[in-house]
Structure 1
Amino acid sequence: METYVIGDIHGAARALDQVLERSPFRPGIDRLIQLGDVADGWPDTPACVERLLGIPHSIWLQGNHDWWAAEWLATQLPLEEVNPYWYKQGGRATFDAYQRLPASERSRHFHQFFGEQRPYFEDEANNLYVHGGYTPHRPIAEQDPYDLIWNRDLWDGNQTATGYHECFIGHTSTWAYKKVPCQTNNVWNIDQGAGYRGRLSMLNVRTKAFVQSDPVPELYPNVAGR
C-alpha cells in the first residue's frame, strides 16, 4: 500500500479528476489523504465530496474553508443569515452549488464527509498530516483543532516538525514562488494554489513523485473563482 496526499481542492472537481487519472494511485489498494479545504472557490464542492466519498481508504483532514462550510451545512441558514466573511472568501460558490441539491443531500454530505474530517493524522511511519500547521514544541493532541486549520507558522516561520519523520501541509499556497510541491526542513507543502490560479497537486509520500492538474482557471473558463 502506498500513501498519497492531495492538496487544497477548493471546489475544483475537474482538477481532482485530473490528478486521480494522472496518478498511479490504486483505489481500494492505496491510501489517500486529502489535506483539507475541499470546499469554496470553484463551483463543484458537492462533486468533490462525492468523488472522495467513493474512494476506499481515504482520510480527510479539515481545512478552514471546510470548517466554514460545515457550519453552514449544519444549519442551512438562508443567504441573509450566512457568515458574510465565508461567503466572500469562496463560500458563495459552495452555497450556490448546494442550493441546487435537496436538503437531504446537503445533510448527507455534512454527516458522511464534513462530519468525518479529522484535525490531523499520524501514520505508521511517524509522518504528520495537518491542514495549516501546529506548534512544534507542544504535543499536537493538546492543541486546539481550530488552530490547526489556521496556523501558518510552521511554513512561514521555516520551522521543523519536531518529533516527526515528515509533515505534510496545505493552507499556505506556494503558487507565487514555487509551482510544485516543495519542502522546507522536514515539512512538505502540497498547496500549489488550486483555489486561485494555480494547480492541484497529488504526491506519493514515499517516493515524492507527484502529478498536477492543469491550471484550474483553464478548467473553469468563464468562471470567476475566488
Structure 2
Amino acid sequence: METYVLGDIHGAFRALEQVLERSPFRPGIDRLIHLGDVADGWPETPQCVERLLAIPRSTWLQGNHDWWASEWLATQPPKTQLNQIWYLQGGKATFDAYARGSKEQIQRHFHDFFSKQLPYFEDRTGNLYVHAGYDPTIPIAEQEPYELIWTRTLWRYSLEASAYKECFIGHTPTWPQSKVPVQRANVWNLDQGAAYGGRLSLMNVRTKEFVQSDTVQELYPGVKGR
C-alpha cells in the first residue's frame, strides 16, 4: 500500500479527474489523503465531493474554505444572509453549484463528507497532514482546530515540523513562484495554485513522485475561479 497526498482542489473537478488518471494511485489499495479545500473557486464542488466519496481508503482534512462551505451547508441561509467574506472568496461558485442540485444532495454531502473532515491526520510512519499548519512548540492535539485551517506561520518562516518525520500542508499557494510541490525543512506544500492560475498536485508520500493537472484556467475557459 502506498499513501498519496492531494492538494487544494477548490471545485476543479476536471483537474481532479486528470491527476487521478495520470497517477499510479490504485483506488481501494492505496490510501488517499486530501489536504482540504475541496470547495470554492471553480464551479464543480459537488462533483469533487462525489468523486472523493467514491474512493475507498480516503481521508479528508478540513480546509478553511470547507469550514465556510460547511457552515452554509448545515444551515442553508438564503443568499441575502450569506457570509459575504466566504461568498466573495470563492463561495459564490459553491453556492451556485449546490443551488443547481437538490436538498438531498446538500444534506448527504454535509453528513457524509464535510462533517467527517478531520482537523489533522497522523500516519503510522510518523508523518503529519494538516491543511494550513500548526505551532510545532505545542502538541497538535492541544491546538485550536481554527488555527490548523488558517495559520501560515509554519510555512512562512520555514519552521521544522518537530516531532514528525515529515509534514504535508496546503493552504498557502506556491504559485506563481513555484509551479511544483515545494519542500522547506521537513514540510511539503502541495498547494500549487489550482484555485487561480496554477495546477492541482497529487504526490506519492514515500517516493515524492507527483503528477499535476493542466493549468486549471485552461480546463475552465471563460470561468473566473477565485
TM-score bucket of the superposed structures, by smaller chain: over 0.9
- Equivalent-residue separation in structure 1 for 2:40 and 2:177 (angstroms): 23
1:181 aligns with 2:181: yes
Residue 33 (structure 1) aligns with: 33
- Post-superposition shift, 1:27? 0.3
Q: Structure 1: which 5+ runs fail to align? A: none
DSSP 3-state at the match of 1:33:
strand
Residue 191 (structure 1) aligns with: 191
Residue 10 (structure 1) aligns with: 10
- Equivalent-residue separation in structure 2 for 1:75 and 1:194 (angstroms): 28
- Equivalent-residue separation in structure 2 for 1:144 and 1:104 (angstroms): 32
Residue 84 (structure 2) aligns with: 84
One-letter code of the match for 2:186? Answer: N
- Post-superposition shift, 1:176? 1.8
Q: Deviations over 1:86-124 (max 9, x none)?
A: 000000000000001111110100000000000000000
- Equivalent-residue separation in structure 2 for 1:221 and 1:185 (angstroms): 37
- Post-superposition shift, 1:165? 0.1
DSSP 3-state at the match of 1:159:
coil
Residue 75 (structure 2) aligns with: 75
Residue 223 (structure 2) aligns with: 223
User: What does 1:25-174 align with in structure 2 at a 5 Å threshold?
Assistant: 25-174=25-174
One-letter code of the match for 1:121? Answer: F
Q: Normalising by structure 1, report the TM-score.
A: 1.00
- Post-superposition shift, 1:224? 1.1
Q: Structure 2: which 5+ runs fail to align? A: none
- Equivalent-residue separation in structure 2 for 1:104 and 1:200 (angstroms): 29
User: What does 1:16-27 align with in structure 2 at a 5 Å threshold?
Assistant: 16-27=16-27
- Equivalent-residue separation in structure 2 for 1:224 and 1:121 (angstroms): 32
- Equivalent-residue separation in structure 1 for 2:225 and 2:209 (angstroms): 28
- Equivalent-residue separation in structure 2 for 1:154 and 1:189 (angstroms): 11
One-letter code of the match for 2:204? Answer: N
DSSP 3-state at the match of 1:92:
helix
- Equivalent-residue separation in structure 2 for 1:86 and 1:63 (angstroms): 13
Q: Deviations over 1:41-82 (max 9, x none)?
A: 000000000000000000000000000000000001110001
One-letter code of the match for 2:84? Answer: P
DSSP 3-state at the match of 2:49:
helix
One-letter code of the match for 1:178? Answer: S
DSSP 3-state at the match of 2:8:
coil
- Equivalent-residue separation in structure 2 for 1:146 and 1:57 (angstroms): 26
- Equivalent-residue separation in structure 1 for 2:109 and 2:21 (angstroms): 24
Q: Normalising by structure 2, report the TM-score.
A: 1.00
Once superposed, which parts of structure 1, at least 4 consecutive aligned residues long, lie more than 4 Å away?
Answer: none
DSSP 3-state at the match of 1:8:
coil
Q: What's the Cα RMSD here?
A: 0.4
One-letter code of the match for 2:194? Answer: A
